[in-house]
Structure 1
Amino acid sequence: MSGMSHSLLVMKFGGTNMQDAAAIRHSASLAARWARQGVKVVVVVSAMAGVTNALLSIADAAETGDIAAANDSLAEIRHRHMAAAGELGGRPDSATVRELRELLETLRQAIYGVYLLRELSPRSRDLIVAFGERLSAPLMSLALEGLELRAHHLTGGAAGILTDRHFGGARPLPQSAERIRDRLGGLLDAGVTPVVAGFMGETEGGSVTTLGRGGTDYSATILAEALRADEVWAWKDVDGVMTADPRVVPDAQNIEVLSYGEVMELAYFGAKVLHPLAVTPLQDSGIPLRVKSAADPDFPGTLVQRETHNTPGRPVKAVTAIRNVSLINVTGAGVLGVPEVVSSLFGAIARENITLLMVSQSSSMSNVSLAIPDADAARAMEALRHSATGELTYEQQTGKAVLAIVGGGMRGQLGVSARMFTALAEAQTNILMISQGSSELNVSVAIENTEVDAATRAVHAAFGLGGPAEA
């Protein structure tokens, strides 16, 4: 790998690669390995593993008035970060440790404010949850300095990521690019490695926003696009993107090359690989992204690029599944043929910001089925009832799953769906709903949660994804 000449890399480290002092030191050594060869490296970090969820729980506990539970969890977070700082060589009187103390105190006050008001707005939740990354970035700086590199950590906002006010799922504004170049360019030119707190940005008014779950990947690609980096490397605790979840399919293989479109489909259908929007900033420039294994840094991992790379006889790249899905069937003879009615249904779902995993409409137009995450089902039912005409009936089924096959090679190739349905039939899988994306990059089916593992293995085998791929 080191033979490749790169002048600027953006390296992103996920939660498991930041989970304690040892993991952070290892991650820092990966950045240092390239920085020492004269490559400019921008490091983007996630929160320590588990901290984001802990902060969300603490905020919820404070809102319901359970300040004791909130304080206990806060004490654990404080201890975890302070212990890591000590192990990474941070002396109690050092600037970094002082800064960590101040951040933890500000976090405590924010939680206490939620407790006093018994109110947790999306804006407050973003402020609180972004502390995960704000606390892990100084630890990465310490680790890099321990390896005798000059480092400087900053929040996503301070690094130049300016977003809209859509708290919880903010989008970057066009003027971010120039700000990022201004703010990080000088550090890079001075031989300093910037460490950016991922997952977060700020509004023009300076409020902290987050980019949605898994948003650290998105931060990394936003920065890479602005800085015109050579590549983005997303360091994970896996070998790259796999043909299926290896815990379900033991013979799952690493996928060498994926297109941006294929990765977006995979992320959308539940593969815990990248934020679904992560590759969008790269699409104009064509900057490649690599998913790399922190445990095996010389393994090439998965290259994500603009073009689809198809292997003959291998139309499908991966099988992925989302569990805990609800199917909502909307029925109303004759009514659903009216475009306004269908549009009001989708409008209601969109206003609630609910993820629509699949849609299918019967040819008689008398029913529309929507697949959405169980977590959003109650809100969706409420929104639909409020929005549409009284002649419609709504029926909800929970405990379902969506299984999808993804691959650019499916386009225009006959028999792909047939192969999938044959495999599902042989595995005695009950198919509840079918949908093929217009992009022709995926075919998805709704099935029972209980049948997901067997179905995934059957489809994986049917497309020959288990053997080593012929190049």
Structure 2
Amino acid sequence: MDEPGKIRDAAAFVASQGGEVVAVCSAASGTTDNLMGISGLIRKGDGKGARAAADGIMRYTRELAEGAVSVEEDRERLSAALDGALAELNGLIDGMALLGEVTPRSSDYLLSFGERLSSEILASAISERDRKAEALAGNEAGIVTDSNFGGARPLMDTTGLRVSKKIGGLLLEGVIPVVGGFVGADQYGRITTLGRGGTDYTATTVGASIKADEIWLMSDMDGLMTANPRVVGGARVLDEVSYAEAVEMAMFGAKQIHPRTFEPLMGTRIPMRIRSAVNTGNPGTLVTASPGPESGRTIKCVSALRHNALIDIRGGGMVGEAGTAAGIFSTLAGAGVNVMMISQNPSESSITVVIKKSDMDRAVDALEIGLAGKVIKKLEVTPDVAIVALIGSGMRGTVGIASRVFGAAASKGLNVVMITQGSSELNLAFVVGDDDCWEAVRALHDEFGLGAPGGRAAG
């Protein structure tokens, strides 16, 4: 379906819901990538190219508006709103091109326009279906964040008060607030973004702030699945998972959910559904603080993170030396390297970490400069590894899970080079070569019968 058709369908779905509804929307397809492309052109000193790219976004936005909204009066109001936003966007790009630089602050301001434009179009499309709607940027809705541009976090106490006042007021007036996701503002009013996938994060932040009855995250996926359906043909939609399980699945890239999506809800009992925006008859996956007994006894999914590197850090001086691990992790943190997985042998003579492959050179340089010859005697680097994770509360207290994992991997001739399990027993993760990743996922999916009845086929 064309993009205007998707907007019309989304508007019809929102307008058809009874009671008080808040819609949180993402940018139109490709818009955020195009805005990021403008940043790249400005960095290269290509102001002419940046302005041409901006013209393309403006044309595309007007085409979407024309295709999504048909009532002339609504079109005129929408056109006026878009004129103001697009003039502001053009002025920002001209200023950035003139300076020839892109700062984290200006980048966030630039990227915010995707959601600002889409929320205006969706609100107008809803309004012509006999439901009053008002478009709000995330900051206008009351989302206040820290000043970590590019990956800001809402300050929930302040945000809760402001969002409940603004959104609550509109709901009392019978208006559907249409909030642009991904965007907020810091305490000084400077525009911030929550990181890619931040629309889900915005939705849960708003939902927690207004104490919603239920939150729906809707995309092209039918729900959380037992595995990546592009890799595992028998992957199924899960009926129900706990918040804790959903957090683990988000960390491993399930449905590309922002990893912090569930943070605003952890202190609440607000249920969430992850469901399809296309196949709206499918109820999706229920995420709840209190899953049923049967759900609590099952392993939910197998997932994977690819394109990582493993660093084995060795040294006799590490044995029995207090603060060694702290020194290693502080050094990596100082270099801006996030450690995704850790293992240490009982002799304390080595620590193994897994990091993103893109961070590998920076991590090695930092460790060699900061610790080599003192604590560290040797670094061994394996550049292409994947983390495969088995997730589900059904592992808790169950004997033999690790042996079945090793057995399934061995049956396919796969070498497991590292394995960890947290004390919560919600996640058992292991490392294999990157090329073996999907074979490992399929082997575990079969071993634990994750495609068996208890979930629903996608589609």
Structure 1: gaps (5+ residues): 1-16
Q: TM-score, normalised by structure 2?
A: 0.92
How far the C-alpha of 1:385 sits from its partner, in A, is: 4.1
The answer to whether the 8 Å contact 1:63/1:114 transfers is: no
- Alpha carbons 2:65, 2:75 under 8 Å: kept: no
Q: Where does 1:331-410 land on structure 2 (aligned, <5 Å)?
A: 331-335=314-318, 337-388=320-371, 390-391=373-374, 392=376, 393-410=378-395
Work out whether residues 296 and 393 of structure 2, in 8 Å CA contact, stay in contact via their aligned partners in 1: no
Equivalence for 1:274: 257
Of 39-48 and 370-379, deviating more is 370-379
Per the TM alignment, residue 417 of structure 1 is displaced from its structure 2 partner at its CA by: 1.4
Which moves more between the two structures, 44-53 or 132-141? 44-53
Answer yes or no: is the 8 Å Cα contact 2:297–2:393 preserved in 1: no
Q: Distance in 1 between the 2:6 and 2:320 partners?
A: 57
| Structure 2 residue aligned with 1:219 | 202
Name segments (4+ residues, structure 1) moved above 6 Å. none
- Match in the other structure for 2:216: 233
Could you list the per-position Cα deviations for residues 325-349 of structure 1 after superposition, in whole angstroms to 9, with x for gaps in the alignment?
A: 1222222223364332311222233
1:318–1:309: structure 2 CA closer, same or farther, 3 Å change rule? farther
- Separation of aligned partners in 2, 1:94 and 1:399: 54
Contact 2:412 2:443 in 1 (8 A): yes
Q: Among 75, 84, 87, which residue is 2:64 paired with? A: 84
Give me the whole-angstrom Cα distance separating, in 1, the residues matched to 2:295 and 2:175: 46
Secondary structure at the residue paired with 1:458?
helix
Check conservation: 1:349, 1:384, Cα contact below 8 A: yes
- Which amino acid in the other structure matches residue 172 of structure 1? P
- Separation (CA, whole Å) in 1 of partners of 2:229 and 2:423: 28
Distance 2:92 2:282 in 1: 43
Q: Per-residue deviation at 1:203?
A: 0.7
Counterpart for residue 246 of structure 1: 229
Unpaired stretches in structure 2, ≥5 consecutive residues: none
Asked if structure 1 preserves the Cα contact closer than 8 Å seen for 2:395 and 2:401, the reply is: yes
Which secondary structure does the structure 2 equivalent of 1:175 belong to?
helix
The 8 Å contact of residues 336 and 342 in structure 1, kept in 2 or not, is answered as no
1:444 is matched with: 429
**SS of 1:296's equivalent?**
coil
| Distance change (3 Å), C-alpha of 1:470 and 1:234 | closer
Q: Residue 13 of structure 1 aligns with which residue?
A: none
Judge conservation of contact 2:239–2:455 (CA < 8 Å) in 1: no
How far does residue 197 in structure 1 lie from its aligned partner after superposition? 0.7
Q: Deviations over 1:231-254 (max 9, x none)?
A: 000111111100000000011011
Instruction: Tell me: CA distance 1:130–1:470, structure 2 relative to 1, closer, same or farther (3 Å).
Output: closer
Cα drift, residue 46 of structure 1: 0.8
CA distance in 2, matches of 1:321, 1:221: 25
* 3-state SS of paired residue (2:244): helix
- After the TM superposition, which residues 281-320 of structure 1 pair with which residues of structure 2 at under 5 Å, given as runs? 281-309=264-292, 311=294, 315-320=298-303
Q: Which one is further off, 214-223 or 115-124?
A: 115-124
For residues 11-51 of structure 1, the C-alpha deviation after alignment (integer angstroms, 9 at most, x for no partner) is xxxxxx9x8211111111111111xx3x1000000111222
Aligned CA distance change for structure 1 residues 125 and 421 (closer, same or farther; 3 Å): same
In structure 2, how many angstroms separate the alpha carbons of the residues matched to 1:148 and 1:313? 43
Which SS does the other structure have where 2:57 is aligned?
helix
Distance change >3 Å, CA 254–CA 148, structure 1 → 2: same
The one-letter amino acid of 1:317's match is K
- What secondary structure does 2:255 align onto? coil
> What is the letter of the counterpart of residue 45 of structure 1?
C
Deviations 1:242-286 (A, max 9, x none): 000000001101111111111111111122342111111112121
Partner of 1:200: 183
What secondary structure is seen at the aligned counterpart in 2 of 1:343? helix
Code of the residue aligned with 1:465 in structure 2: it is L
Contact 1:126/1:210 (8 A) holds in 2: yes
Residues 144 and 327 of structure 1: CA distance in aligned 2, closer, same or farther (over 3 Å): same
Distance 1:302 1:425 in 2: 33
Match of 1:440, SS state, is: coil
In the aligned structure 1, how far is the partner of 2:83 from the partner of 2:360? 41
**What amino acid is aligned across from residue 287 of structure 1 in structure 2?**
I
Q: Which residue of 2 aligns with 1:58?
A: 38
**CA distance in structure 1 between the aligned counterparts of 2:106 and 2:455, rounded to whole angstroms:** 51
Distance 1:216 1:168 in 2: 13
Contact map agreement 1:460 1:466 (CA 8 A) in 2: yes
What is the rounded CA distance, in whole Å, between the counterparts of 1:454 and 1:409 in structure 2?
A: 23
1:124-203 alignment runs, 5 A limit: 124-173=106-155, 174-203=157-186
- Structure 1 residue 468 corresponds to structure 2 residue 450: no
Letter in 1 for 2:10: S
* 1:181-231 deviation line (CA, Å, top 9, x unaligned): 111111110101000010111111100111122111111111111101000
The question of whether the paired residues in 2 share the 8 Å contact of 1:62 and 1:112 is answered with: no
Question: Structure 1-normalised TM-score?
Answer: 0.90
- The question of whether the paired residues in 2 share the 8 Å contact of 1:344 and 1:387 is answered with no
Q: Is residue 454 from structure 1 mapped to residue 439 from structure 2 by the alignment?
A: yes
RMSD of Structure 2 on Structure 1 (CA): 2.3
